[in-house]
Structure 1
Amino acid sequence: MAQPAGGEAGGGGDADLGRYRSPLVSRYSSPEMAFNFSEAKKFSTWRRLWLYLARGERMLGLPITEEQLQEMESQLENIDYKMAAEEEKKLRHDVMAHVHTFAHCCPKAAAIIHLGATSCYVGDNTDLIVLRDGFDILLPKLARVISRLAGFAQEHAAHPTLGFTHYQPAQLTTVGKRCCLWIQDLCMDLRNLERARSELRFRGVKGTTGTQASFLQLFEGDHSKVEELDRLVTEMAGFQQTYMVTGQTYSRKVDIDSVAVLSSLGASVHKICTDIRLLANLKEMEEPFEKEQIGSSAMPYKRNPMRSERCCSLARHLMMLVLDPLQTAAVQWFERTLDDSANRRICLPEAFLTADVILSTLQNITEGLVIYPKVIERHIRQELPFMATENIIMAMVKAGGNRQDCHERIRVLSQQAAAVVKQEGGDNDLMSRVRSDPYFSPIHGQLQLLLDPSSFIGCAPQQVVRFLEQEVGPMLVRYASQMEGKVELEL
């Protein structure tokens, strides 16, 4: 559905500055996601659903004319919002306000608009359409992030870097292998979003408490026509299936499924961007930094990872939003209660808008990630001698030495080198001590080889290649036509 003119996110005149506007729309989100949750999309979809209902009812024999249908179709986008607001203020009912507003511009069709339906026919079915379209916006964005990271991982598949456990130096890994840990989480998210999208069904035409009693009455007790109407409207709305049983609403567990996968995505993005922030502190990796960007108003030298910080900040909000649909589903009394409405008006749009923001921002980050090999090498040099002690012991044993004697000698030298690093702030001089100790003379010629970082990365490069080829590549095939385009952040 095309976005109407003037529908850009964050637009508005000076009068808007005197009212709160959600930063998700005014500052961050994409125009397409902002429009997906807009009033224009919502109310024009209501009208479209009324048209589908009337069209289906005519096909099944109710006295509705083609002229009435054409009149409705001609007015789908011609919504008098001022009149609708006045009607809602008077009626205290948003759906009936829009029924009256639609009827006002469709005098010939007025009598058959909303025939047999309840408010949730337009409300819930529109929500399901919007959720479906929201996933369709997010999925290619997530695929693009995975694709960008896959290119980065492939480029650095064999580039040794210091690994960390407990944020303490551990065995070496590679830059590409670490990136694959991020990609794997995002691939799980891609599968989760695809599943949630594919499992969405339509509420269809179910009536006031889900029994379809009003439609059975319209069709004079013909159950087959009631079922066929449900099928026709569902098909016109672009869905393959309906929820076979509902109360007045579709089960609010559907909202849990939708928001849960987005909250899970938020956790993945938070972890990735936290890693980037920590690596930025180590000066091993940086997100894009604009030529005129200011990192601090007081400290001109700073290059803060503000994009990653923004992702973490918004991801925390996204992770918390799943609590809303969980509690809403838990307190839906019997066939429905209205305490879901106000909550869902907030949490569902915010979940998709927030996911949209963090994916766009993460794409921008991944399209400009840089590493600093010399810094990475320096950190490896500082820690690798300690990690190489076992290799040194094994080499000495092969040269005829005694393992226990060698272990004690290397232990003493390691403690001396550690004291230089920790107490004096010096560089790790363990290898200099080994080279100057006659005991290790049988392997002095091997030390350079024993300290080659590439001998400490195990199967990391091969793992990267296999993972990208066998898992990531096939997942991205269906999005191949949507991979183009870079993200430029305005703020």
Structure 2
Amino acid sequence: MTDLADQPLSPLDGRYRIATAPLAVHLSEAGLNRARVRVEVEWLLALTDAGVAGTSPLDDSQRDALRRIVDGFGAADVAELAGHEAVTRHDVKAVEYYLRDRLAALGLGDLAELVHFACTSEDINNLAVATTVQTAVREVWVPALDGVVERLRGLALRWAEAPMLARTHGQPATPTTMGKELAVFVHRLARLRERVLAVEITGKANGASGDFAAHVVAAPEIDWQALTKRFVEGLGLAWNPLTTQIESHDWQVELYGRLEHVGGVLHNLCTDVWMYIAEGYLVQVPQAGATGSSTMPHKVNPIRFENAEANLELAEGVLGTLRRTLVTSRWQRDLTDSTTQRNIGVGLGHGLVALDNLTRGLGEIELDRDRLLADLDANQEVLGEAIQTVVRAEIVAGRSDTANPYELVKALTRGRRVTADRMAEFVAGLGLEAEVAARLAALTPAGYTGLAAELVDHIR
């Protein structure tokens, strides 16, 4: 069994690796370390630009050389950092020593003491986490969500006029169209996408207790608030001026809550599509070579939607834990946030697997229009709403003296099936004006979809 010890423990790094690899670039330990190196480099440049300790701004070639350390960060650098950490037993201190070595190689060894100057580890970590999460969400998670939304949009537009029996409380209800029902999800997800992107991601660089104490003692002539504001904003973040040792993580709580919300809507999509498949409204297109059951050859299981459903639940569990844990820290800080934040990629990873499966699953379904029409024809009683509503309008207009049309239709239809002929007979006996009676007589469940098809235009 010892030869299996190096195998991936999590399916995110095993079975689902192809789907999650883009996240690993940003949210793996290596991705975090590269971000730490970037923060340290940019802090060094900010310090020299401000003339801290009598320094002068570096020239373009020196700046480019420092930034190439970040751009070229790879496997060899990861191994080198691991070597430093084996000695320091401290991940951020290992980054500092790694950069000191690089400065010496570039002929900038006289700046070594400005690496990690006046910083606590959280000054580096909060900015590294913020920039990696921001990039992962914007460049990986959002495009994956867009893939689902665009596939849904295409199906909604294609099936905008396909009439379908609706079900409220699981019971036959006023007909709709399949396109309109899918358009509801497009509309919800598009709105929530913007809410995710609107989260203000904040960062800080203010020392061990958040007071710039070491900064002011070492270089009292510097406007440290202005310097750190420029520095944090230069990383693409919003500056947080008031913190303890830790950046308060409120942006993370807000972001993960919004990602959970999106996941909840996607979960709703999964279960709805699953039930449409079970009902026969949607048909899965068999994939060459695929097996639905190990014993029942006929089956085409809705595995994409079931897989997505399960991974969305796992994502919700991790993101919910992050949200609840990161909102608090004992006094000026404790280290619960450090361990917790190492699982950000796990939460986003399960969400990404779900998005991948949803995109694929939505590309492998077709609409059985005949099944939809047959179901509509078998539920003529759903026209009862239209009939009683029309009669009520006629009563108000003074063109009918029918008493309590709702109760009349209820007595005819509640809890029972009504044939088209019986419905026509009922309408004929209401004594309505000829034009109104003809309008109701011509109405069918398939034609009773109101503005459903037009409403789909809102997602074009």
**Counterpart residue number, 2:381:** 386
Separation in 1 of the partners of 2:203 and 2:455?
42
Pairs within 5 Å for 1:251-400 = 251-287=248-284, 289-346=286-343, 348-383=344-379, 385-389=380-384
Name 2:191's counterpart in structure 1: 188
Displacement of 1:312 after TM fit? Answer: 0.7
Output the CA distance in 1 between the equivalents of 2:301 and 2:334: 48
Q: Secondary structure at the match of 1:303?
A: coil
Aligned counterparts of 1:389 and 1:123: Cα–Cα separation in 2: 63
Question: Which residue of structure 1 lines up, in the alignment, with residue 452 of structure 2?
Answer: 460
Residue 25 of structure 1 is matched in structure 2 by 13
Give the conservation status (yes or no) of the 8 Å contact 2:196–2:259: yes
**Equivalent residue, structure 2, for 1:160:** 163
Instruction: Identify if the C-alpha distance between structure 1 residues 382 and 263 changes in structure 2 by more than 3 Å, giving closer, same or farther.
Output: same
Moved more, 275-284 or 173-182: 173-182
> Secondary structure, in 3 states, of the residue corresponding to 1:106?
helix
Q: Sequence identity of aligned pairs in percent? A: 21
Q: Which residue of 2 aligns with 1:202?
A: 203
Displacement of 1:149 in angstroms is 1.9
**Quick check: 1:42 aligned with 2:44?**
no
| Structure 1 CA distance for aligned equivalents of residues 47 and 405 of structure 2 | 90
Whether the aligned pair in 1 keeps the contact of 2:312 and 2:350 (CA below 8 Å) is yes
Determine if contact 1:279/1:285 at 8 Å carries over to the other structure: yes
Verify the 8 A CA contact 2:161 2:177 in the aligned structure 1. yes
Superimposed CA distance per residue, residues 316-360 of structure 1 (whole angstroms, 9 cap, x where no aligned partner): 1122224323432354012211122111111x1122222222223
Aligned twin of 1:127: 129
Where structure 1 has 5 or more consecutive residues not aligned to the other structure, the ranges are: 1-13, 419-427, 470-491
Asked whether the equivalents of residues 391 and 450 of structure 1 are also in contact (C-alpha less than 8 Å), the reply is no
Cα-to-partner distance string for 1:393-441 (whole Å, 9 max, x where unaligned):
899999x9996899999888869x94xxxxxxxxx6723566899x979
TM-score after normalising by structure 1? 0.78
Bigger mean CA deviation after superposition, 245-254 or 73-82: 73-82
Amino acid corresponding to residue 167 of structure 1 in structure 2: G
**Structure 2 counterpart of 1:218:** 218
Q: Secondary structure at the match of 1:297?
A: coil
Match of 2:144 in 1: 141
Secondary structure in 2 matching 1:370: strand
Q: Pick which of 148-157 and 50-59 moved more.
A: 148-157
Q: RMSD of the TM alignment (CA)?
A: 3.6
Q: Structure 1 pair 435/265, CA: closer, same or farther in 2 (3 Å)?
A: closer
Contact kept, 8 Å, 1:176 with 1:461, in 2: the verdict is yes
Instruction: Describe the SS at the equivalent of 2:167.
Output: strand
Instruction: Answer whether contact 2:27 2:133 (CA < 8 A) is retained.
Output: no
Q: Contact between 1:24 and 1:354, CA under 8 Å: does it hold in 2?
A: yes
User: 1:372: how far off?
Assistant: 0.4
CA contact (8 A) 2:315 2:349 kept: no
TM-score w.r.t. structure 2 length?
0.82
Q: Distance in 2 between matches of 1:392 and 1:249?
A: 65
SS of 1:162's equivalent in the other structure is strand
Partner of 1:92: 89
Q: Displacement of 1:295 after TM fit?
A: 1.1
Tell me the distance in 1 between the aligned counterparts of 2:404 and 2:323: 63
Q: Distance in 1 between matches of 2:405 and 2:225?
A: 83
Q: Work out whether residues 85 and 91 of structure 2, in 8 Å CA contact, stay in contact via their aligned partners in 1.
A: yes
Residue 431, structure 1, aligned to residue 423, structure 2: no
8 A contact 1:103–1:113 mirrored in 2: yes
- The CA distance in 2 between the partners of 1:148 and 1:170, in whole Å, is 27
